[in-house]
Amino acid sequence: MKENPTIAIIGLGYVGLPLAVAFARKYHIIGFDINEERVSQLKEGEDLTLEVSSEELNEVLSGSEGKKLEVTTDAAALSNATVFIVTVPTPTNKYNQPVLTPLIKASETVGRRLKQNDVVIYESTVYPGVTEDICVPILEKESGLLFNKDFFAGYSPERINPGDKEHTVTRILKVTSGSTPEAAKYIDELYRTVITAGTHLAPSIKVAEAAKVIENSQRDINIAFVNELSKIFRMLDIDTQDVLEAAGTKWNFLKFTPGLVGGHCIGVDPYYLAQKAQEEGYNPEIILAGRRMNDGMGEYVAGEVVKLMIRKECKVKHGKVLILGITFKENCPDIRNSKVIDVISELEKYNLNIDVYDPWASKEEVNEEFGIVLSTSEDELAHDYDAVILTVAHNEFRDFNVASRRNDPSVLFDVKAFYDKKITDGRL
């Protein structure tokens, strides 16, 4: 294991790019991605995920020898690396089963370039066992080398939060692990050179894998609980936010808020753990109940809005609805697995006409992903909506003049409890 490694980062998305930039301040980094468009944008200093600024990116792209980032789609460039960090997607399919294809393909690519004493670290979120039971055999097969004799592996989960400019990669304590005590020490020390928040060396790869997947499962279950509370309290005509505020004054009450659970992590990772549990013959009741609750919230919100519209005698048949926000979370352009689409699909069943406004999302991406013509500027919107639903708490919506867009009568439903309660007709 080399003291001053050249590090290859495989997959330059939300996780891989910020990591590559952080490491490029100290090491020579080969950033590899199969997406040619992404790589050519990065070469131009442009990161469409908005996680890295053009200034930072250009700085590391033109860095000095031994401290720079080169980005490429040419896998041959990986031959120069001695450490490989894999940050490719780990999605689920339509049956909510893990899709390990990107991880398998990336392992094949790395395996073909693996040399004596190289180290392969996985960062993608997985269930316990994927690194050693699925990826390592591929590395062995492709390289002809022996695990823990000729090459070593590690797992270090990523904890970044897209759009969060405070908890950036180097400022989040990082869990590390390795396949032998020496590899673990090497990997831990390597991360320590760039992660200013420090590291936690887990006793094994499986522990590190399990830690990541339960972090997100725990969040999912806690949000599912407050979503359930919101359903109960709406029936009782009690404001859930007021209840949470009151209960939150107790020192050990956990502060979670109801909402739509989308994105690439919280709504997906629990299925990874559930699948592994099922393979072992255990049906994870709490994890899957949480998933069912959260996956049903889009439909629930739409139903509540329509009920309110009927109660207020708003135009429902061919009425007009404005949705504020389509990204999976606030102040970031990420639309992956956004649950706003569930609200829209359900409203469409009532023959409502729906406009979606989001100043953060890309028109092209939204059209490609959901077949929706997105409005990205206020000029594109009407002034006579029968319902307005705030689904994402983007900062821009703070100054958005909702009143000037509403018909009389109309409904304003606030999924995120973003606006003053007095001006809304309902919230979670």
Integer CA distances (angstroms), 213 to 130, 134, 169, 216, in order: 12, 17, 18, 6
Q: Which of 131, 138, 132, 130 is nearest to 114 (CA)?
A: 138
Shortest Å distance, C-beta 154 to ligand NAD: 15
Closest to ligand NAD by CB, 175 or 302? 175
Handedness of CA 117, 122, 128, 134 (dihedral sign): negative
Q: What tokens were used for 198?
A: 């420090």
Between CA 262 and CA 85 the distance in angstroms is 26
Between CA 17 and CA 24 the distance in angstroms is 10
Shortest Å distance, C-beta 73 to ligand NAD: 9
Quick check: 126 and 213 in contact, CB under 8 A? Answer: yes
Between CA 262 and CA 305 the distance in angstroms is 20
Shortest Å distance, C-beta 106 to ligand NAD: 4
Q: Give the containing element (helix H, strand E) for 56.
A: helix 54-61
Between CA 365 and CA 362 the distance in angstroms is 5
Closest to ligand NAD by CB, 272 or 300? 272
List of E strands, 202-246: none
Closest to ligand NAD by CB, 156 or 227? 156
Residues 6+ apart with CB under 8 A from 157: 123, 125, 174, 175, 208, 209, 211, 212, 215
Closest to ligand NAD by CB, 206 or 234? 206
Shortest Å distance, C-beta 19 to ligand NAD: 9
Quick check: 16 and 31 in contact, CB under 8 A? Answer: yes
Closest to ligand NAD by CB, 71 or 244? 71
List of residues contacting ligand NAD (CB under 6 A)? 10-16, 32-35, 38, 87-90, 102, 105-106, 109, 123-125, 158-162, 264-265
Shortest Å distance, C-beta 148 to ligand NAD: 24
Between CA 209 and CA 175 the distance in angstroms is 9
The answer to whether residue 135 is catalytic is no
Shortest Å distance, C-beta 334 to ligand NAD: 7
Closest to ligand NAD by CB, 160 or 211? 160
Q: Would you please indicate which residues are annotated as catalytic (active-site) residues?
A: 265
